[in-house]
Amino acid sequence: MERIREKLQILADAAKYDVSCSSSGSSRKNTNKGIGDTGSGICHSYTEDGRCVSLLKILLTNYCIYDCAFCVSRHSNDIKRAAFTVDEVVELTMNFYRRNYIEGLFLSSGIFKNADYTMERMLKIVKKLRLEENYNGYIHLKTIPGASEELVTEAGLYADRMSINLEMPTEAGLKMLAPEKSHEEVKKELAVIRDKSIQYKDEKKLIRSVPKFVPAGQSTQMVVGATPESDQEIMHTADSYYKSFSLKRVYYSGYIPISNDTRMPIIGTQPPLIRENRLYQTDWLMRFYGFNVKEILNDQHPNLDLDIDPKLSWALRNPHFFPVDINQADYQAILRVPGIGVSSAKKIVSARKFGKLHIYQLRKLGIAYNRAQHFIRCADSPFQLNEKEPHRIKGIILQNSQSKYMKSQPNQLSLF
């Protein structure tokens, strides 16, 4: 038991740098009086509807044949190594689940011997959990780059979500820090999951009993700040992968200086968290708000504004789009107003069917009116945006944000 505890400490710590562990989107149900249910919202993740779930997040091993400069498990790094057996991972997962410590498993691994050797052992783990332990809980499995199509396809029959890390946003950046890897290997694995998912969905239209295949979809992750890509390059890469491989999520991980490799940049002790947050905000604008990535980032604006969120930044650069008439504009136009989210935009469209909306009604609908007021017109709105206003409005919003933050955190420095 002491040996297992030591392995768990080493391999759980090594797994913490992988942020792509969301557990949303699966629909696997308990069958034959098995153990666990997927979707009934040790790492914490969040489902699409906001529920917090706990996952056992570990590496199968931190031995690795590759020498990626940014990775703590690279083979040239002098760290303590460990590896779980198949039975040990299964036993840990079941014991933790029975004690209500976790609601699922996130399993990744360093690559030892070769890709197929590693992938085969990860496949044995998920098969044993599903078939022998009758475990119906959530499983997120990392695909090993270079593994055979047969192994990846079979793993997809037992995992709820699969993912493979893109590592760096561009091929040039990847070659700089991980010359043994390539984006082509990642694309190949992502294409396998995409094509098989489509195949199984088509078969389900004709055949009643078709096994689930990666029901929660697939995702990828990029390290931000380790190589000199602009925000434009990062988000254009994400946009391309969303469209080409039907990804559920792209994760952006601010580079944490965890190695002394001379190939790595010196950025101090803290990852670029504000930049990471702005990238996630841009990602949401692309996925849920109808923005094209070229509207937010282009040759004239290759990097995101760290002082303000990308939606507000776009609004200030496009004063001709405003003010938006809340009582007349369509849903997509309302979505582009800073301070109005998806839920609020839907409420506005529904509420205005019963009469023109006034300021007090907008406040009751839950929009951030202090921000939105600069960009909208309603029944009693006194303000209209013109081309001379953006800089003044930015100053007002920044001042209000700073004042609000300082009141809530009196002993902390302002975010801006």
DSSP characters for 90-119? HHHHHHHHHTTS-SEEEEE----S-HHHHH
What's the predicted TM-score (pTM) here? 0.84
CA distance 138 to 35: 11
Give the distance from CA 337 to its chain's centroid: 24
Residue 409 binned pLDDT confidence (cut-offs 50, 70, 90): very low
Provide mean pLDDT across the span 36-45: 49
266-287 pLDDT, tens per residue? 655 455 789 999 999 999 999 9
Provide mean pLDDT across the span 342-363: 95
Provide mean pLDDT across the span 233-257: 93
The pLDDT, as a whole number, for residue 70 is: 87
Closest CA to 11 of 76, 136, 105: 105
- Gyration radius of the chain over CA positions: 24
Cβ neighbours, 10 Å, residue 2: 6
Domain 2-296, architecture per CATH: Alpha-Beta Barrel (3.20)
CA distance 58 to 42: 8
CB 139 within 8 A of CB 105: yes
Residue type, 20: S
10 Å CB burial of residue 399 (0-12, 13-18, 19+) is exposed
The region of weakest confidence among 33-37, 91-95, 301-305 is 33-37
8-state DSSP, 144: P
The pLDDT, as a whole number, for residue 2 is: 79
68-82 pLDDT, tens per residue? 988 889 998 889 999
If one compares 268 and 362, the residue with the highest pLDDT of the two is 362
Residue 25 binned pLDDT confidence (cut-offs 50, 70, 90): very low
Residue 23 binned pLDDT confidence (cut-offs 50, 70, 90): very low
Classify residue 56 as left (phi > 0), alpha (psi -120 to 50) or beta: beta
The helix (H) or strand (E) run that includes residue 188 is: helix 183-206
Residue type, 402: Q
Residue 226 binned pLDDT confidence (cut-offs 50, 70, 90): confident
The pLDDT, as a whole number, for residue 414 is: 28
CA angle centred on 159, ends 115 and 59, rounded to 5°: 50
Closest CA to 111 of 70, 73, 146, 64: 64
Share of the chain above pLDDT 90, in %: 64
Provide mean pLDDT across the span 175-204: 94
Provide mean pLDDT across the span 95-114: 92
For the chain, give every residue range classified as CATH 3.20.20.70.
Answer: 2-296
The pLDDT, as a whole number, for residue 41 is: 28
Query: What is the DSSP code string of 342-393?
Result: HHHHHHHHHHGGGS---HHHHHHTT--HHHHTTTEE-TT------TT-HHHH
- Whether the pLDDT of residue 255 is over 90: the answer is no
Provide mean pLDDT across the span 337-365: 95
Residue type, 9: Q
The pLDDT, as a whole number, for residue 308 is: 93
Residue 39 binned pLDDT confidence (cut-offs 50, 70, 90): very low
119-133 pLDDT, tens per residue? 999 999 999 999 999
- Whether the pLDDT of residue 408 is over 50: the answer is no
The pLDDT, as a whole number, for residue 402 is: 54
If one compares 38 and 376, the residue with the highest pLDDT of the two is 376
Residue 222 binned pLDDT confidence (cut-offs 50, 70, 90): very high
Place of tokens 């699969």: 162
Residue type, 260: N
- Whether the pLDDT of residue 313 is over 90: the answer is yes
Query: What is the DSSP code string of 69-81?
Result: TT-TT-TTS----
The pLDDT, as a whole number, for residue 391 is: 61
The chain-wide mean pLDDT, for the chain, equals: 85
The pLDDT, as a whole number, for residue 116 is: 97
Instruction: Quote the tokens at residue 19.
Output: 């942020």
CA distance 381 to 373: 8
The region of weakest confidence among 40-44, 330-334, 377-381, 390-394 is 40-44
- Whether the pLDDT of residue 390 is over 70: the answer is no
The pLDDT, as a whole number, for residue 16 is: 79
